Amino acid sequence: MVCGCASASRQTGQPDAANTNGGDGGNSGPQDSATASGSCASPFTGVLATWDFSGAAGNQDSTPSSSTATGVSAGDVARSSSLTPTAGTDSINSSNWTTGGSADTTRFYTFGLQPPSGCSMSLKSLAIDTKASSTGPGAAAVATSDDNFTQMSTFDPSSSATSTLSVDASTSMVELRVYGYSASGAAGTLRIQNTLTVSGSLQ
């Protein structure tokens, strides 16, 4: 089973029937069957999924996950259609971020996680390495579909950061969005580079 979330050509972040974020590939983990009692067959605490941007051109449509915990399905990292793909080695990179002082809900990177059948999933932290250009976003934040992207955890867009996530015991796909804002020009860029990880637990 593959986790679906917003494709590079969609802004809504709703699951696709057969694809992940507009990507074609190969990033899903095997699904564990629920036990007869409905308890989780593979309880786990730690890194649930990792994305590695090594060798990426920056302007690719999406980047698949490089590893997942047993049974977890992870969607590709992709950009919303309001952003412009931009070259940037070892990253996924974009321009056309808002110059406004708060997150524009149409401009974001998106990816998702889904627990194995019979398990619930809690998300506790996001470790992310981002870099903004001199005219790129001066602020960034991450939010999840668990509360309809209402609560945002802010971080410095030009550093490695760990942001707190507050998703508890979800039994369905959770989409995460990374917003950049307060850019000083439309040509300014914000990239996710090197590696990205989400940590939490299955229970």
Please report the pLDDT score of residue 1 as a whole number.
Answer: 38
Tens-binned pLDDT, residue by residue, of the chain (203 aa) = 334 444 333 333 333 333 334 333 334 333 333 333 468 999 999 999 999 999 999 999 999 999 999 999 999 999 999 999 999 999 999 999 999 999 999 999 999 999 999 999 999 999 999 999 999 999 999 999 999 999 999 999 999 999 999 999 999 999 999 999 999 999 999 999 999 999 999 99
pTM value is 0.82
116 closest CA partner among 52, 19, 38: 38
b/e per residue 114-134 (b: at least 16 CB within 10 A): bbbbbbebbbbebebbbbbbe
Secondary structure of residue 112 in the 3-state scheme: strand
Spacing of C-alpha 76 from chain mean position: 8
Please report the pLDDT score of residue 21 as a whole number.
Answer: 40
What are the chain's domains?
44-202 (2.60.120)
Contact 170, 104 (CB under 8 A): no
